[in-house]
A and B are shown apart, each in its own frame.
Chain A
Amino acid sequence: MASPDRAHGRRFYPLMVAACVPVLAFLVLPTLVIVPMALTAGDLIVFPPQGISGHAFADYLGDQQWMQSTKLSFEVAVLAVAIAALAGTSAAVALHGKRFPGRGAVTGLILAPIVVPLVVLGLGDYLLFAALGVLGGWAGIGVAHGVLVTPYVYISVATSLAAGLNPALVRSARSLGARPTSVFRHVYWPALRPGLCAGAVLAFAVSFDEVVLAWFLQGPQSTTLPVRMFTAVQFELTPKIMASASLFIGLATLTLLAQALIARPRRDLV
């Protein structure tokens, strides 16, 4: 027998469908339309595509500049993830279960990159890197992205620890002779690993398609893929854009799949 709540929910079911379907369609269709457009046989970005061909992908893969940007984006994202994993995990472990005056302020500082407008962050990084004379390198973009994506790792790891780390485990490990490094390895690490993986995947995705910071900090040899696409949309308008965009869709799908696999509840962590 259905509970009253369920029956109540079912009454509103058509309303929910009526509200959700258009929203989802609006969100998903413009994305999905990219793939057929990338498969056009023509040289223009139009829908429906003029014939089917893989030449846009061949152009994209054969263009040295575009390939260099793609490689650069991966490098930037890897550096950003490395920084975020180190900083975010350290912060989450250090703050786990601690209470002290100013804890809110510290947390706020770690999470600030999420709320600070990207343009402001980008301008600030631009001026700083210019003053330091390190403007225009991929490492600079990676560092800036590292700051930007640290909150994602921090939140994810902190949540993992809050849910999966029994404080008595730390004590029991210490009573058995474990020093801080062993406590981290045998108690913290198993509890935070799922959060770290999920956070790293998300951080990679955020860095890989970030435009604003990468735009401010770009140099002749350091144009990330999204920035190149953005420029190409303004000046070239070739189906190469669509081909590289398809790459993003593929990556995003992989990210979602990875998230779904990692986020599966792990009973042995309780």
Chain B
Amino acid sequence: MSTVVRSVGPAPASLRDPSGPARIVWTIAAILILIPAAWLAEFNPATLMGEASLRATGQFLATFFPPALGLDFLELVARAAWKTVAIATVGTTLAVLIAIPFALIANRQLSVSALAEERMCFACAAVRTGVRWLLIALRTVPEIVWALLFVRAVGLGDAAGVIAIALTYGGMLGKVYMEILESNDARTTRALLVNGASRMQALLYGTLPVCLPELVSYTVYRWECAIRASVIMGFVGAGGLGMQMELSLKMFAGGEVLTMLAVFVALVWFADLVSAALRRWLG
């Protein structure tokens, strides 16, 4: 080490990291911004660690053991878990059905009218922009808000959860599908289009061979997210494991909560296994 330094000579002032001061300034600024934010959010570690809260938390956590393992209860949980998976799966399937046509319409790479000219026709561009906006609107509203709306509309139960997932995830999937399809090497589709293939044919023979694994893998990842989301939406009455968990939480039945948390972890782990297997198969 020292020999290296000797051979180079004393370090000149210019070796000082030029971005060092800026980093210090930004770190201080971030802390200065965070403190009032925490104060605004009424986050005070002292409250959390206060004797009263610690005792309340401790008492509640103590009720977690032993986990509830009654046969009736397990059957109930199994049915709720199955419902959660069903809500996520049906919701994601509907979302895919919403997303595919929109992603195809909005895709600029497959535009025949823009093939030989700089711009595509006005009407086509207008439709594409409209679809983009619609997708933004769909995914801007969080699924839990959709769920609350539909719980009012179609009543408590699974249907509200399914519709909520279909709408929000349809918007998300549509946008991501669009981006995945457009990230494809444009020359593969262009070569087909200039030789007279139709939009769909160019998609089938130019885009999908490259993009299909990514599309499937993202969809499966979204399905995984939908399982989590459907648990959360259960809390507002949209069916499934979340609804049961809320009931148990309200009744301070810690043992039941623990069992359901365990089932929930197992569910997510299972979803992860399925998606990993699918991705490996497609790889």
Asked whether A and B interact, the reply is no
